[in-house]
């Protein structure tokens, strides 16, 4: 069984895909995970607290949903008379 997907943001505005390739998207709640086990405060606690602060400060970078990055781009150079490989 095949489905036609409308993808206006892609090069081809319609795609034919097999039903096995379709997956339902489940959004997840973003929450900060405690990476350390609570124990007595020691000198080693300072770096752990620093890591937690960084994760909170840059929460957008460590998101659950992937997003395109505006920082890195690349160009693909095509070879003349080459055929695509599937």
Q: Which of 28, 30, 5 is nearest to 16 (CA)?
A: 5
> What is the chain's Cα-based Rg?
22
Helices (H), 1-86: 45-57
Listed as own residue / partner, the contacts of 50-58 with beta carbons closer than 8 Å and 24 or more positions apart are: 56/32
Q: What is the DSSP letter of 20?
A: G
Q: Could you tell me the pTM of the whole model?
A: 0.26
pLDDT in tens, 1-13: 888 888 888 888 8
Residue owning tokens 């937690």 = 52
pLDDT in tens, 59-83: 777 777 777 777 888 888 888 888 8
């Amino acid at each position: 069984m095949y489905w036609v997907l409308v993808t206006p943001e892609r090069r081809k505005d319609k795609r034919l895909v097999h039903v096995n390739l379709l997956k339902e998207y489940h959004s997840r709640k973003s929450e900060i995970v405690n990476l350390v086990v609570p124990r007595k405060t020691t000198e080693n606690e300072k770096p752990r607290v620093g890591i937690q602060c960084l994760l909170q400060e840059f929460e957008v970078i460590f998101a659950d949903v992937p997003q395109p990055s505006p920082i890195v781009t690349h160009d693909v150079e095509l070879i003349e008379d080459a055929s695509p490989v599937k």
